[in-house]
Amino acid sequence: MSIPLIDLKLQYQQIRQEVQTAISGALDSMQLFLGPNVQRLEEDFANFCGVQHAIGVANGTEALSLSLRALEIGRGDEVITVSWTFIATLEAIVHVGATPVVVDIDPRTYCLDPAALARAITPRTRAVIPVHVFGHPADMDAIREVCGPRRIHIVEDACQAHGARYRKQRVGSLGDAAAFSFYMSKNLAGYGDGGMVTTNDSDVARRLRMLRDHGQEQRGVFSMVGYNSRLDELQAAILNVKMRRLAKWHEARRHLADYYNEKLSGLDLVTPHEAPGCEHVYHLYAIRSPRRDAIAAKLQEAGIGFAMHYKAPPHLQPALGNYNLAQLDLPVTLRCADEILQLPMYPELTTEQVDQVCEVVRSALG
């Protein structure tokens, strides 16, 4: 039996009635412009992350770029991030006119390496975007130690990490602002695009509310040149249904990850690391092996879904050719690009299916 990398239909079948009721309610009310569903999601998401403000926006990419704009970062400024991420992290920096600077990652967590960050700082550095990649939090204490004394802003890229914890605090509450994506494959996902920014800074929140709605301070008063980047009311209605199940889904992912770890132990590959004090939410379950391509071939043959994020990391993409990133020395990123593979992971996956996946991985390495 084939096993997909992620099964969106299976989850939809379980919540279909509630989702349809929520969508009908929104349509019946015809309050489709920053209405009650967006408001409720913003309140619940802020509580969930343990922050004062959550601002719904159109997608995760704009959650990042609007956060940078709200922090008044733009032309002439450098923003440091990683290349072990989706290209959107770097696009957001370019969108605000700033210069992306890329550093290497930690070989165990695959998140930004704080020592590399310290070495990359220049007088023009205004912000850093740590990415909580695959659902594991970056080392925020070490990052804050580097950034704090220099007044460098921190914008968390939490697009893959809804609910992950760092020293008991949820991601989204660990920097000046944080960006989340509700793209359909994320741990909390709509059936279309959506995003959220969280922050404890009331000024940043106020600017974000203006920026997402054409810079309007009050109806008809446009105080800054903004964007059309509002979270859609129908997506918010769907997300409110899913928000109630997020904790349960999160536990299911963690249980499946433990099961994978156990079944894959003893094989010549590296399973995901959970750093002390961190709670991984396994948006993606990634293994690392020099024989990655042989494993992929066997999975393909067996009809098992897999991915190779980020086989071609963003700093090597032609789109970013003007920023002299390709010649940077990023040995850990490049090694991950050659060796990392993601296996099926979604809350409805069964342990029997994990057995099947692990058997194929074992046979590839055997």
Ligand X SMILES: Cc1ncc(COP(=O)(O)O)c(C=O)c1O
- 160 near ligand X, judged by CB under 6 A: yes
Choose which of 59, 109, 187, 235 interacts with ligand X (CB under 6 A).
Answer: 59
- 85 near ligand X, judged by CB under 6 A: yes
CA 166/CA 300 separation, integer angstroms: 36
Q: Which of 133, 108, 132, 135 is nearest to 256 (CA)?
A: 135
Residue 254 vs residues 160, 226, 249, 257: alpha-carbon distances, Å: 15, 40, 9, 5
Q: Around Cβ 275, how many Cβ atoms within 10 Å? A: 16
Stretch that binds ligand X, among 53-61, 110-118, 137-145, 319-327 (CB under 6 A): 53-61
Choose which of 130, 135, 137, 195 interacts with ligand X (CB under 6 A).
Answer: 195
- 190 near ligand X, judged by CB under 6 A: no
- 342 near ligand X, judged by CB under 6 A: no
Choose which of 99, 181, 187, 240 interacts with ligand X (CB under 6 A).
Answer: 181
Task: Name the minimum Å distance from CB 63 to ligand X.
Answer: 7
Choose which of 89, 99, 240, 342 interacts with ligand X (CB under 6 A).
Answer: 89
**Footprint on residues 118-157 left by ligand X (CB under 6 A):** 131, 157
- 81 near ligand X, judged by CB under 6 A: no
Q: What is the dihedral of CA 46, 51, 52, 58, to 10 degrees?
A: -50
Cis peptide preceding 310, ω within 30 of 0? yes
Interface with ligand X: number of residues (CB under 6 A): 15
DSSP string spanning 263-322? Answer: HHTTSSSBPPP--TTEE---SSEEEE-TTHHHHHHHHHHHTB--B-TTSS-GGGSGGGGG
DSSP state of 323: G
- Of the two residues 87 and 361, which places its CB atom closer to ligand X in the complex? 87
Task: Name the minimum Å distance from CB 64 to ligand X.
Answer: 6
Choose which of 88, 197, 278, 284 interacts with ligand X (CB under 6 A).
Answer: 88
Task: Name the minimum Å distance from CB 153 to ligand X.
Answer: 17
CA 75/CA 94 separation, integer angstroms: 9
